[in-house]
Amino acid sequence: MLGRFADAHIGDLSETEVDQLEHLIEANDPDLYAALTGVTAPGADIAGAMFERVKSFRPTIL
């Protein structure tokens, strides 16, 4: 999901947003996945505007 989000939006992200996305990419995968799928609330280390943006991203499936 993060790869698809990056592919779709990397050109539009500010330097700060790229840093925030990189932070999510480096997060513990099981915790990030659980938060992105709504199983758990996001931890303070991943919560924020970029997390919400990635969570709301729904790529079009062809």
The residues near 32 (Cβ < 8 Å, ≥ 6 apart) are 24, 46
Question: Per-domain residue ranges for the chain?
Answer: 2-56
Q: How many helices (H) and strands (E) does the chain have?
A: 4, 0
- Tell me what pLDDT residue 58 has: 74
Q: Say what the pTM is.
A: 0.86
For 40-51, the pLDDT digits (tens) are 999 999 999 999
pLDDT at 59 over 70: no
